[in-house]
Structure 1
Amino acid sequence: MANWQLFLIAHIPEIRPALRVGLGLAVPGAALLVVGRTDLLVYAVFGSVVGMYGRDPRRLQRFKNQVHGAIMMLCAGICGIMLAPFGLHGWSLLAGGMLWAAFSSVVADRHGLKPGGAFFPLFAFCALGTLPVGEHPAVDGLATFVVTALVSILLGQAAKFGPSTERGVETIAFPWPNVLRRAGTYLAVVLVAGTVGITLQVEHLQWIMVGAVVPLAAGSARGRLKRGAHRIAGTLVGMGVLLGIYYLQPSELMLGFVILALIFPTEAYMVRNYGLALSFFTPVIILMLQLANPMLGDQVMWDCAIGNLLGVILGIAAAAVFERRPRTQYASGAVG
């Protein structure tokens, strides 16, 4: 048997959901590229995250997981979209981030969602809430966001079910005391990280807040250090990938295709190798934000790197203070 065939067999559990997530972005994303609206890709990318919750091989359970994932993503993202005209920054951005981090943690833990934690909903709120949209909410962006999420759910249900070689993800509904304690940790960690960022007058506060919640996915101090190290390493490697893309000086249209292409390996390695997944996701993050707001410039790369580094350090330190009990039952398959 050829090496590529062995590779595919070994990675089938990751390739199939990755294809669904990739298609969930490729379908609406290609439509946006055709009509020349690359600025809306940022909304499509966050909508396609709903596809990441569709790993369970059981039809009904996958549908439930994706609906709960969609609730988290849509609530946080739509809130950010509606508040964007008011120019979220500083304490207002921090207050919203704390709310959605805690809410998403409750939903994810109570329903045993994988990927777990509050990383994606929090990032959706922060990113979409800080885009310069003028005096009115971006209705076209909101429509793109919602439609992409619905397409992702439909693709999840369109897959072949029944006897399957696809590895399922165990779903465990955690008891309310554990759920609330974990949500409280998210609330406290985001508060600490955001307060430090505001005190230091960090321009892009969202990077610190998002970076701070990443280590919380692990269930022990060692696990948090490992996940934080993966976050930093993946971000730095992603910066190298991004510099290579910049060197080629692609057009906006080509950048759009690059974003569509990088979503596939991001999902394929999100569970297997978090650091490697981030080396693909980091360029996606920065490219889609720059297409939505060309005024960001190259400085956003360094803001992302520094913010993630500071956020991860603060997240690990704050978690050690606010949550001393190990949480090994939460560690499997989570991302932030």
Structure 2
Amino acid sequence: MLEKILENVINAMVPCLDSGQLEKLNNVLYIEFHGVEVVEQCTELAATGEDGDEAKIRMFLASKKAVNRQDATLRQYTREIRSMLGFLGKRLEDITGMDLRYYYGIMRERRHIKMSTMQTRLHYLSSFWDFLITEELVHSNPVKKVGLLKLEKTIKKPYSAEDMEALRSSCTTLRDRALVEFLYSTGVRVSEAAALNVGDIWMDRKELIVYGKGSKERRTYLTDSAKFYLRRYLQVRGKDEGVSPEEMKELPLFVTLDRPHGRLTVAGMQYMLRGLGKRAGVKNVHPHRFRRTIATDLLNRGMPIEQVKEFLGHEKLDTTMIYCTVKEEGIQASHRKFA
């Protein structure tokens, strides 16, 4: 009954408030009224049922492992599920939509977790409950009620042409320039780039195979510029390290500048690009933004969205749409052409 009252209040205020004010009202209501009235649902804390819940978590992780989810992803799922259970102090089967809205509100209002981060964490929880439903361990997914809330969406901008030129001109080593061109050209995830070896590149064909999420294989491509700087970088490396072209094939594609030239890790790439962004005067420089930029550029140049989806290795078209920012002038030109 209380939940219905709160929903009615929020719905009544929708015409009067913007999205930020509406979210604030929603969070405050569910924080302040959580557990105030117990009529049709119990809000008392129950025993956590650790053995049973832990068994369910292990089963869920095993199912994700079976479809080749990365260890880092599994740790994120585990951390969020246990964080939620520890916070609410309830057994899984007793957790309601009200509980999760309360959890969501506390995370946002008192711990100041970003909305985008909270959305990701709720996605982990929803995936967990969907698994429990499939295995007939619970009857419903309480996260679905949280998902009905209207959350403010922020558009993550790709690099502009000016940003890209500033980054290119600020590169101080061949490696850095080759990495910038490579990330933009291929649209690979940073973890995919860090895992590549020299032998994975078919330089003459300007192609490579990467293994994305779930070990799914996909083909991607080098631009002429990416091929040029990558080849120069590898030639200089080969001479510097005194190895033959055949021996180079077994080495990491990108390595540290300092000897003994170990594989450049994900953290290493992120660190290098942050420094490059500072020198170039470009804000928010990180590897994933190159992926967003090439996707947007391909779409604006006329590549069908279905092909952009395959290029990025996305399972769902909706994910691709989130990545791509269609330029206003492109919409205007299409309107004049088709209207």
Under TM normalisation by the shorter chain, which class is it? under 0.3
Q: What is the TM-score when the length of structure 1 is the normalising length?
A: 0.26
Q: What is the TM-score when the length of structure 2 is the normalising length?
A: 0.26
Structure with more of its chain in helix, by fraction: 1
* Larger-Rg structure: 2
- Where relative contact order (Cα < 8 A, 6+ residues apart) is larger, the structure is 1
